Chain A
Amino acid sequence: MSLIHLEDLSKVYRVGDQEIRALDQIDLRIEEGEFLSIIGSSGSGKSTLMHLLGCLDTPTSGRMEICGKDLAKASGDELAGVRNREIGFVFQAFNLLPKLDVVSNIALPLVYAGVPHAERLVRAKKAAADVGLGERLSNRPPQLSGGQCQRVAIARALVNNPRILFADEPTGNLDSATGRMILEMFDALHAAGKTIVLVTHDPAIAAHSRRVIEIRDGRITREYNP
């Protein structure tokens, strides 16, 4: 059974009288351990797909199964639970909380998983060490470089040991050398067996993955293995 299974999935927005089909009858299977890229230009619907896969939004119609759960009509609490336990997010803009130090930022998902304080600290420190952030744990995001911020974000995404890692333009705000380092980190995670879904507009970055899906006007137009 696939880890992610989309069937006939559509998302329609209404703007006034106009219907905008952001996603139009998408069929997609993603297996456990895959490293998949979704590419497309801006407005192609890739972000909408990403939000649906990331359980931040619900589809208008179609079937959506993630980790064996039918989530097409799931409640807010169910989606939150999946986001918390099964999914890790890495964003272009890092999306760290500037008021919290590195450890607290990494431990944030554990707060909502109900993990006790002491255990949160231990696990957050371990996750920090795994992404090569042994020091600077008491610093706050504004005091860190972009690469360090993204590593904090990756540590946060991984701290609750999710099955899927979503990355939305993870190198977009980084210089090319740092970006390469982050992508190498994804390679290592993939090698360790993590399922990774990377969203980007850049075919060169997508080339890091093993399978690329191209989206245009809400439909999957091409699929290839680089």
Chain B
Amino acid sequence: MARAVTTQRKTINTVAAWVIGLLIFFPILWTILTSFKTEAQAISDPPIFLFFDWTLENYSVVQERSDYMRFLWNSVILAGGSTLLGIIIAVPAAWSMAFVPSRRTKDILLWMLSTKMLPAVGVLYPIYLLFIQFGLLDTQLGLTLVLMLINLPIIVWMLYTYFKEIPGEILEASRMDGAGLREEILYVLTPMALPGIASTVLLNFILAWNEAFWTLNLTAAQAAPLTAFIASYSSPEGLFFAKLSAASTMAIAPILILGWFSQKQLVRGLTFGAVK
């Protein structure tokens, strides 16, 4: 039994935590608020927090001027496609390492991890050359492949740790019941691991959505996702705080919502099961 805590102490904790929490969250909050201001109010001195004329104008301007939807669509395709592809490749791999381990399984797992640590900048030019060679530069396909490859180790690892928690006897039971490998994975393993697979999908969608090295260097106009779209605001013209805020809000809102669902899995996924 936990000890009863005095109300006074709980109050102090609460106040301190809320103040710090809000301070950390403030830049996001400020961005969201600014997105509803006019450009003039966005830079007014002194700053206005809540009592301004709320407007949705910035959102429509952002869409009109830069075809925001196309970038959004690219982000969805790249993040969704790379995650889906990664899952399809990783589920069989994780199955075999979790349920038919060999002496080399541990080495393979660690080696896979090590590929994740390869500094991107070290292989930038080769990838760039290969992309030109195969006509993949600034294409959704090319970037989907790269994002899939950089996240594949994390996907395999997360699935592996989830699969390890499923008792092998149940898979053996399905074999005794006449299920082939395909049925075993499709009807028994996948439904049982569904929560784990869902968290893996979620986290990797977030990581792919936010990836900002390859997406900036391997795209131009056609396949650029939101990361590149936002980066185009780094050389501003005129007043743009409100528009930048609107664009930013749209770029991060879906991920913030998804991210809140995946807090717990985040730890497991990003520490490769070393902290649970």
A and B held together in a complex: no
